[in-house]
Amino acid sequence: MVVRDSSSPVMGSIPVPDSDIGKHLGTLLDSTDGADVSFTIDGETFHAHRAVLAARSPVFKAELLGSMAEATMSSITLHDMTPATFRVMLRFMYTDALPELVDSPTVTIQGLLAAADRYALDRLKLLCAQKLWDNVSVDTVATILACAEMYSCLELKNKCIGFFAVEKNFKKAVLIEGFVKLVQQFPSIIVELREKAGP
Amino acid sequence: MVVRDSSSPVMGSIPVPDSDIGKHLGTLLDSTDGADVSFTIDGETFHAHRAVLAARSPVFKAELLGSMAEATMSSITLHDMTPATFRVMLRFMYTDALPELVDSPTVTIQGLLAAADRYALDRLKLLCAQKLWDNVSVDTVATILACAEMYSCLELKNKCIGFFAVEKNFKKAVLIEGFVKLVQQFPSIIVELREKAGP
Q: Contacts of residue B171 in chain A, CB cutoff 8 Å?
A: none
Q: Which residues contact B8 (CB under 8 A, 6 or more apart)?
A: A166
- Which value does ipTM take for this structure? 0.88
Query: Residue A73: pLDDT above 70?
Result: no
Mean pLDDT of B36-62: 96
**Cβ proximity of A159 and A190 under 8 Å:** no
CA A183 to chain B, closest CA, distance in angstroms equals: 22
Describe the crossing of helices A122-134 and A109-118 by its angle, rounded to 10 degrees. Answer: 160
What percentage of chain A exceeds 90 in pLDDT? 76
CB within 8 Å of chain B, chain A residues 13-42: 13-17, 19-22, 24-25, 27-28, 33-34, 36
- What is the chain B residue with the closest CA to A17? B123
CA B80 to chain A, closest CA, distance in angstroms equals: 25
Query: Residue A104: pLDDT above 70?
Result: no
Q: With CB atoms and an 8 Å threshold, state whether B126 touches A64.
A: no
Note the pLDDT of residue A196. 85
Note the pLDDT of residue B1. 43
Per-residue pLDDT band for B72 (boundaries 50, 70, 90) equals: low
Q: With CB atoms and an 8 Å threshold, state whether A123 touches B17.
A: yes
Per-residue pLDDT band for A69 (boundaries 50, 70, 90) equals: low
Note the pLDDT of residue B2. 46
More confident residue, B41 or A106: B41
The highest-confidence range among A70-79, A104-113, A188-197, B138-147, by mean pLDDT, is B138-147
Note the pLDDT of residue A71. 55
Mean pLDDT of B186-193: 92
- Other CB atoms within 10 Å distance of the CB of residue A123: 18
CA-CA distance, B17 to B160, in Å (whole number)?
39
Note the pLDDT of residue A197. 77
Note the pLDDT of residue B112. 95
Lowest mean pLDDT among A114-123, B60-69, B144-153, B157-166: B60-69
B167: contact with A, CB 8 A cutoff: no
Mean pLDDT of A17-44: 95
Mean pLDDT of B97-109: 76
Note the pLDDT of residue A124. 97
- Pick from A8, A31, A52 the residue to mutate for testing the B interface (most B CBs within 10 Å): A52
Lowest mean pLDDT among A24-38, A61-75, B151-165: A61-75
Model confidence pLDDT, tens digit, residues A54-65: 999 999 999 998
Note the pLDDT of residue A70. 56
Lowest mean pLDDT among B18-27, B105-114, B175-184: B105-114
More confident residue, B115 or A72: B115
- What is the chain A residue with the closest CA to B69? A34
More confident residue, B99 or A118: A118
Q: With CB atoms and an 8 Å threshold, state whether A130 touches B156.
A: no
Total count of residues recorded for chain B:
199
What Cα–Cα distance (Å) separates residue B159 from each residue in A8, B133, B168, B173, B180?
12, 8, 16, 14, 19
B34: left (phi over 0), alpha (psi -120 to 50) or beta: left
CB within 8 Å of chain B, chain A residues 96-135: 96-97, 123, 126-127, 129-130, 133-134
Note the pLDDT of residue B197. 78
Q: With CB atoms and an 8 Å threshold, state whether B22 touches A27.
A: no
More confident residue, B91 or A101: B91
Collapsing DSSP to helix, strand or coil, B42 comes out as coil
By the 10 Å C-beta count (0-12 exposed, 13-18 middle, 19+ buried), B159 is classed as buried
- Pick from A24, A74, A131, A136 the residue to mutate for testing the B interface (most B CBs within 10 Å): A24
Model confidence pLDDT, tens digit, residues A130-142: 999 998 999 999 9
Note the pLDDT of residue A7. 44
Per-residue pLDDT band for B196 (boundaries 50, 70, 90) equals: confident
Query: Residue A39: pLDDT above 60?
Result: yes
Note the pLDDT of residue B74. 81
- What is the chain A residue with the closest CA to B56? A24
Chain centroid to Cα B105, Å, comes to: 17
Note the pLDDT of residue B70. 56
Query: Residue B188: pLDDT above 70?
Result: yes
Q: Which of A173, A189, A186 is nearest to A137 (CA)?
A: A173
A185: phi then psi, degrees, rounded to nearest 5: -75, -40
Per-residue pLDDT band for A112 (boundaries 50, 70, 90) equals: very high
- Pick from A6, A10, A36, A140 the residue to mutate for testing the B interface (most B CBs within 10 Å): A10
Q: Which of A78, A62, A28, A67 is nearest to A48 (CA)?
A: A28
Query: Residue B187: pLDDT above 70?
Result: yes
Note the pLDDT of residue A12. 84
